[in-house]
Amino acid sequence: MKELIERIQKHGKILRNGILKVDSFINHQVDPVLMDACGREFARRFADVKATKVLTAEISGIAPAVTTALHLGIPVVYARKTKPVTMPDAVLLTLAPSHTKVVMTELIVSPEYLADGERVLIIDDFLASGATIMGLVRLAQTAGSQIVGIGTLIEKSFEGGRELLASLGVPIEALAVIKSMDDGQIIFDE
């Protein structure tokens, strides 16, 4: 997606350990116009999967997930990293490694919002190793839901996440695919 790629080229910064900093428009400060355009594009790409829910991980996936759900006319559920007192005792829970925090993170969803028979579209900010998205897949499958698609704003194809997710047999869409971040340069897959 042209607008997203241009924004990454202009404001994205490569940090150590293969981290791409996009805090100025996705991860800390959010550009709502850009996120709306991304949500509209995801809704277009996934129009035929007949999703009933969008699922994402707290916090960076929320903005693109909400705009996607808005354009699809369905609810969005996000996996929380801590369990609030308002959540029931019995929850759906899995662990996934955090790429930016370098720790294992809990992903928690209330079973009241992710049920048996849901058709789940996963939307997240990044597809790198695929570990966080696989955590979301485990949550949905434990609930008895079916994964019908996976969308990410940015894919770092050199980290192998797409290969990990390919066995799910669902469409995987990335709006910007980065094939290399070597030598301080972001190289996109055309």
Q: What is the CATH number of the domain that holds 125?
A: 3.40.50.2020
Q: Give the residue numbers spanning the domain of 55.
A: 2-188
CA pair distance 140, 157, nearest whole angstrom: 24
- The tens digit of pLDDT for each residue in 75-97 reads 999 999 888 888 888 899 999 88
pLDDT of residue 100: 67
How many domains in the chain?
1
pLDDT of residue 103: 83
The CA dihedral of 19, 62, 142, 150, to the nearest 10 degrees, is -70
pLDDT of residue 190: 77
Spell out, as residue ranges, where the chain has pLDDT lower than 70. 99-101
User: For residue 111, what is the DSSP state?
Assistant: T
Cβ-based neighbour number of residue 46 at 10 Å: 23
CA pair distance 147, 54, nearest whole angstrom: 10
* Tokens of residue 141, six digits: 């499958």
pLDDT of residue 41: 98
Alpha-carbon distance values, 93 to 50, 87, 140, 143 (Å): 25, 12, 10, 10
Alpha-carbon distance values, 96 to 129, 130, 133, 150, 181 (Å): 11, 10, 9, 17, 24
Total-model pTM: 0.95
